[in-house]
Amino acid sequence: IKLTRDAELYIDDEFTGNLLAKIKKGLSKRDTGVPSRFLFDKNISLHFLKFLRESLSLEKEDLIPGGKYHNFSDFFSFPNPGKNSLEFPLMPQLKHSGIEKHKNIFDAIREKDRALFFPYHKYNYVIEFLNRAANDPAVVSIKVTQYRVAKDSAIIKAMIDAVNNGKEVMVFVEVKARFDEESNIQWAEEMEKAGVKVFYSFPGLKVHAKLALVARIENGKEVKYSYFGTGNFNERTAKIYSDIALFTMNEKLTNEAEQVFKFLSGEIVNYEFQHLLVAQFNMRKELLKLIDNEIQFAVEGKEAKIILKLNSLEDKKMIKKLYEASAAGVKINIIIRGICCLVPGIKGISENINVISILDRYL
């Protein structure tokens, strides 16, 4: 048998009082949440099933018959019974030749922007970037966002090393990352003890950005190096999640990354971003503008195409705009990981939209 409880953190009011304390209180109640699903062996005796239903206060709709085994996450570590054909062939992670030719990752970034594609590239470069920053005498400050933290996080250890080495370290920790709330809070408190300036979640807002900003003194002048990524600062999941990352010292981008961190630390409440697309500021407006550009190309008889890779697509305004683009003749390919509320293939509405979800060795 397996009982699943409602694990949602029901916080009545995020805007008053201590949000962190409310989240901690909600976590303490997670194990006693309302039952939402009860899986059981279909061969169980009716007498015993009735006993379980009454003891656990289950409704009829909570009951789902099945097989004998229900903890499917165990299959991640299921041993190979002896057939190599059941496993994916080994795919060693690639070295980045542009970074590898330099002894110092800062030199590699200074030469030119460096793009990485995980899990095909080694994630070690991200850890090296932060470790070197933590131990480099020329580095004066490090700022990082954290959404989902690895169990034994090399990133967090680098931040603690940095503050112990006299760097100014700021970390924004999103404690509303579902099912990682407790882990994130524990790591945040560990960093605070070491002297890291830790900032926590905003009321009514979830910070999903993956940013790092390193300030370094070079030739008597402060210069900034930034990391922008689509994936978490998590060396474990970086081996199976498909993500893109960019190392850069382009001032247009590093200066705006600095503004993001000022917002996260409460120094500013508004900013006119010109280069980064930042949710709550300009992301929706700029995305709609980009789609309108493709619509105009289609109207003019030019090639018009959109490729989107998303976790989910539920936003009504964005779906409406994509329908408009399709009707104008824009070819749209969408790769969705989870929920998709857009319906493709409807004549006159979405016939130019193709939606797929990739189920393979990498997410």
Q: What is residue 248's predicted lDDT score, i.e. its pLDDT? A: 98
Name the CATH code of domain 2-86 (choices 3.40.1010.10, 3.40.190.10, 3.80.30.20, 3.30.1840.10). Answer: 3.30.1840.10
Q: Indicate whether 25 pLDDT > 70.
A: no
The pLDDT of residue 31 is 63
- Quote the percentage of the chain above a pLDDT of 90: 62
| pTM value surpassing 0.75 | yes
Residue 350 — very low, low, confident or very high, per pLDDT cuts 50/70/90?
very high
Task: Calculate mean pLDDT across residues 116-134.
Answer: 96
- 222-227 — which CB contacts under 8 Å span 24+ positions? 222/140, 223/249, 224/249, 224/251, 224/254, 224/255, 224/257, 224/258, 225/106, 225/109, 225/129, 225/133, 225/249, 225/254, 226/250, 226/253, 226/254, 226/257, 227/126, 227/129
With 90 as the cut, is the pLDDT of residue 141 above it?
A: yes
- Give the residue, 54 or 350, on which the prediction is more confident: 350
pLDDT of 205 reads 80
Average pLDDT (183-194) is 87
**Fold designation for 97-264:** Endonuclease; Chain A (3.30.870)
pLDDT at 341: 97
Q: Is residue 13 over pLDDT 60?
A: no
Same-fold call for 2-86 versus 97-264 = no
Residue 362: the pLDDT is: 86
Q: Report the SS3 class of residue 290.
A: helix
Rounded Cα gap, residues 250 and 234, in angstroms: 25
CA distances from 130 to 60, 126, 139, 203, 308 (A): 52, 7, 11, 29, 30
Distance of CA 83 to the CA centre of its chain: 35
Return mean pLDDT, the chain: 90
Mean pLDDT of 199-215: 89
Q: Closest Cα to residue 246, out of 272, 227, 219? A: 227
What DSSP letter does each residue of 16-61 carry, written as one string?
Answer: SS-HHHHHHHHHHTGGGPPEEEEEEETTS-HHHHHHHHHHTT--GG
The average pLDDT across 95-107 equals 96
Residues designated catalytic = 208
* Phi and psi at residue 59, to the nearest 5°: -90, 160
Q: Where are the domains of the chain?
A: 2-86, 97-264, 283-356
Residue 218, strand partner residues: 221
Please tell me the distance from the alpha carbon of residue 337 to that of residue 360, in angstroms, as a whole number: 11
**Mean pLDDT to the nearest integer, 210-227:** 97
* Res. 16: pLDDT tops 70: no
CATH superfamily entry for domain 283-356: Endonuclease Chain A (3.30.870.10)
Reported confidence tier of residue 98, pLDDT bands at 50, 70, 90: very high
Instruction: Quote the tokens at residue 288.
Output: 């709609």
Confidence at residue 66, expressed as pLDDT on a 0 to 100 scale = 86
